[in-house]
Structures are given as C-alpha cells and as structure tokens.
Structure 1
Amino acid sequence: MPIGVIINSLAVFLGGLIGALLGDKIPERARASLPLTSGVASMAMGVSLILKMNAMPAVVLSLILGSAIGEFTKFESGIEWCVHRIRRPIEKIFSNKGTVDNQKEFMEKFVGIVILFCASGTGIFGALKEGMTGDHSILITKAFLDLFTAGIFAAALGYIVLTICVPQFVVLICLFFSASIILPMTTPAMVADFSACGGMIMLATGFRISGIKAFPIANMLPALILVMPISYLWTALVK
C-alpha cells in the first residue's frame, strides 16, 4: 500500500486549496517573501544532496547530456504548453486567479514548483524506499514541507497549484511499483550520484523560484535517467 505516496499527494492538494482560498487575505509582503523562503529551502536541500556525490565527472556529464536531450526535445516547452491549456479552464471554474498576471513570470514560477514537487531527490528516493521496504517515513516528512510550500505558492498563483498533485502522484506511484526492479540493480555509489544530480537540479530550482536566474530546469530532467548508468560505467571503467 503506497501510504506515503498518497499522503504526499494529498498534502499538495490540500496545501494548494488552502493557499488559494486564503490568497486574498495574505498580505502582499508575505506573498512576495514566502516564495523566496521556499527557494532558499530548495537550494539548501540541493546542497545537502550534492555533498553526497561519489563521482563528480559522471554527474556533470549526465547533466550536460540530459540538458542537451531536454533542449533538443523542448521538454520544458511541452510542460508550458500543458500548463497553458489547463490554466484557462481552472481560472473559469474558480474566481481566485492568483496574483501573478504576467505570463512569463507565472510560467517561471509554476514550472519551478512542478519540478520541486515531482522531481525532487527526496521524493524520488522516498518513493523507491517505500516501494522496496514499506518505510513511508521519508514521504510523510516531505508531505509536511509540501503542504506549506503548496499553500505559499497557491496564494500567489491560484488554484492551479493544487493540480500538481496529479503529475506528482503519477511519478511517485510509478517509482513505488518499479522499486523492486530498480533498487536491486543499484549500488550506494550510484544512489549517491543520483541524489547529487537531483540536488543540482533542486539548487537550480531554488534560483528560479527566487527569481535570481531562470534555469531551464525541466530540460535538465533527462539527466536523472542517465546518471545511474553513467555513474556505474565511470566507477567500473575509470576508477
């Protein structure tokens, strides 16, 4: 039973719903400053994961190749297209449209939090661990953070934030059921490099959410698929 996956996705839904309902009642200063706090938290989590790195060349190569694949396939543009398609119907259903009207600013923040919720190293590893051992403590801990983070961003972006629970659930449930296949094929070094790669993406996500630099973080996601095989090959052939 994927208890952690369900609780984590429900936390995003509830956080997004509560944040959107209270959006107009939250002072403008708080709506502007709280996302910055989430950005810093994302950067701190990213740094903590990067410190677990085993083979830097393997991680860097994975990021370069993964980003090239993402740019070539225009992965982030596809996500933005999907967001644009679902934003209008949601704004028609709900009166609260959020406080961010600029389309470019909206997309930068929304794509950033999609990656933060759906592709964080903590979520991916937590889903794999629960699928393999039944231990859902990592995902439940993450659910508390996601509850408040979703609420913070929903206050600015509106009800569309609660829809993130759908792709998040799909990603985590797929990892949960594939854990028995993936984890036995990994080594501690491969997991460490995978976490470091996810940490770099989370660091870039923090910069993007904070409005410092709009990294194309969605285009970096293919690196998460490449990093474990490249880490294995690097360790076997070079070290």
Structure 2
Amino acid sequence: MALTGTLINGLLIVIGSLLGLFFTRIPERYKETVMHGIGLAVFLIGLQMAMKSGEIIIVLLSLLSGAVVGELLRIEEALNRFGTWIGSKFRNSNDNISVSQGFVTATLIFCIGAMAIIGALDSGIRGDHSVLITKGVIDGFTALVLTTTLGIGVILSIIPLIIYQGAIALFATQIDRWIPETLLNGIINEVTAVGGLLIIAIALNMLKITKIRIGNLLPSIITVVIIYYLYTLL
C-alpha cells in the first residue's frame, strides 16, 4: 500500500511524543541546554539541505513570493490561533503559545526535507517504504526530545505529515505519466533547498537569535515548484 511508510512514520512520531511527555519535569536549565543542542543540529540539517539548490535565483524568488503570499494570508497568525485553540483543550497545558510553537516547529522539521519527499515518492512509485521507516525512527526520537521542551503540540504534527506525505505518495503512483524524471529531480532539489532555509529559520528561532515568522514563509514550498517549472520553460 502506498501509504504504509507514511502511516509508520506518523505512528513513530506519536510514540516518541507520548514518551516525551514523561520527561517534561526535567529541570529548566537542562531543557534549555538540550534545546540549544537540538537547535544547532537543526541548523546543520537545514544548511545541508539548502546546499542542494542548483539555481539560487529560484530559491530567492520562491522565498520572496512565498513571503508575500504568507503575509497576505496571515498564515502565522492562523497557525498560532489554531495552536491556542488546541492548547485550550488540554487541562495541563499552561502555555498555549508553546502548543502552537511545538506544532509549527515539529511540522516543519518532519515534513520538509529530502527524506519526506523522496521517501513518499519511493512509497508511491516503487512501493519501497524503507526511507520513510528510517525517517520515522529519526522523527520519533526528535519528537521525544521536542516534546520535553515544546509540549503536546509536537504530536499534532502528524496531521499535516500524513496529509503531505500521503498526498505525495498517492500522486507518485501516477506521477510518471505527467512529469519527466529530469524535471522531477530538479523540483526535488529546489524544494529541498527552500525547505532547508526554513529549517535554518527554525534553528535561529530555537536558539533565540531572532524571531522569524516561519509560517508566513511556508507558501514558498509551493511557489518554488511553479517558479522552477517556469524557469525550465525559459
């Protein structure tokens, strides 16, 4: 089944998040140091992904257009409102903002990247779920650590993850009918590069170096596909 890898990935995130809830009483200074360590690792992951781009102008135009769309739609505000609403449903959630932060941060970390795209494509095209299962193990451990600092919001990331990866996997079962392999490889590289920069933005926020409205940059993941296609036509 094309969705097997995605469902296993989501299950491992749930397990990791639930285990992380048992470690929420760790002293604050430990959490802060752990979060800094995660932030540095996330920064490295994002940097490696960002280097995948073959045309930096495509990445730049994608981020600019995505930022305009995101600001017009006020995506960040919508995500924060959703996180606040979800947080109000949990009795033990004293910080609704952290629910929103956990949801957004985990969603970006788990959904954006080469493994998410390539793994879903492998599931759909070849029925090979090994990449997504490997990704699930990594995501599960990451979810455990993130939940200890960002709370229950992390577990909510399985909703966009299943929709995102599942849609790619289902689309991939028919993708060779519409998109040539060379074009597909180029799209994957540029999407990965843009996603890598968003991951770097996450790291900067986690390290409290700055405060970037990452949610309002999310449309760049879509605009990069459009811009890359138009670029190939030229």
Cα deviation for residue 216 of structure 1 reads 1.3
Q: How has the CA–CA distance of structure 1 residues 34 and 52 changed in structure 2, closer, same or farther, with 3 Å as cutoff?
A: same
How does 1:207-222 map onto structure 2 within 5 Å?
A: 207-222=204-219
Q: How has the CA–CA distance of structure 1 residues 172 and 187 changed in structure 2, closer, same or farther, with 3 Å as cutoff?
A: closer
Note if contact 2:114-2:188 (Cα within 8 Å) is conserved in structure 1.
no
Partner of 1:143: 136
In structure 1, distance between residues paired with 2:222 and 2:6: 21
> What are structure 2's unaligned runs of at least 5 residues?
none
Note if contact 1:112-1:208 (Cα within 8 Å) is conserved in structure 2.
no
In structure 2, distance between residues paired with 1:6 and 1:64: 34
Q: Percent identity?
A: 30
Per-residue Cα deviation, 1:95-120 (whole angstroms, up to 9, x for no partner): 4x37xx4x556644542222222334
Secondary structure of the equivalent of 2:24? helix
Q: Which of 175, 189, 206 is equivalent to 2:168?
A: 175
Q: How has the CA–CA distance of structure 1 residues 210 and 124 changed in structure 2, closer, same or farther, with 3 Å as cutoff?
A: farther
Note if contact 1:208-1:214 (Cα within 8 Å) is conserved in structure 2.
yes
- Most deviating of 191-200 and 173-182: 173-182
In structure 1, distance between residues paired with 2:97 and 2:167: 31
Partner of 1:156: 149
* Amino acid aligned to 1:210: L
Is 1:132 equivalent to 2:130 in the alignment?
Answer: no
Length-normalised TM-score, structure 2:
0.87
- Most deviating of 128-137 and 63-72: 128-137
What is the aligned-residue RMSD (CA, Å)?
2.2
Per-residue Cα deviation, 1:4-43 (whole angstroms, up to 9, x for no partner): 211111111111101012222x343332222222222222
Count residues in correspondence: 229
Note if contact 1:31-1:152 (Cα within 8 Å) is conserved in structure 2.
no
Note if contact 2:63-2:194 (Cα within 8 Å) is conserved in structure 1.
yes
Cα deviation for residue 189 of structure 1 reads 2.5
Note if contact 1:108-1:214 (Cα within 8 Å) is conserved in structure 2.
no
Q: How has the CA–CA distance of structure 1 residues 30 and 135 changed in structure 2, closer, same or farther, with 3 Å as cutoff?
A: farther
In structure 2, distance between residues paired with 1:181 and 1:114: 26
Q: How has the CA–CA distance of structure 1 residues 160 and 52 changed in structure 2, closer, same or farther, with 3 Å as cutoff?
A: closer
In structure 2, distance between residues paired with 1:125 and 1:19: 28
Q: How has the CA–CA distance of structure 1 residues 74 and 82 changed in structure 2, closer, same or farther, with 3 Å as cutoff?
A: same
- Most deviating of 39-48 and 76-85: 39-48
Is 1:7 equivalent to 2:8 in the alignment?
Answer: yes
Note if contact 1:129-1:135 (Cα within 8 Å) is conserved in structure 2.
yes
In structure 1, distance between residues paired with 2:207 and 2:166: 29
In structure 2, distance between residues paired with 1:27 and 1:57: 45
Per-residue Cα deviation, 1:168-226 (whole angstroms, up to 9, x for no partner): 21222112111234565134323221211111111112212222222111111111112
* Amino acid aligned to 1:171: Y
How does 1:1-239 map onto structure 2 within 5 Å?
A: 1=1, 2-24=3-25, 26-89=26-89, 91-92=90-91, 95=92, 97=93, 101=95, 107-182=100-175, 185=179, 186-237=183-234
Per-residue Cα deviation, 1:43-81 (whole angstroms, up to 9, x for no partner): 212111222211111111011101110111001111111
> What are structure 1's unaligned runs of at least 5 residues?
none
In structure 1, distance between residues paired with 2:202 and 2:13: 18
In structure 1, distance between residues paired with 2:75 and 2:120: 23
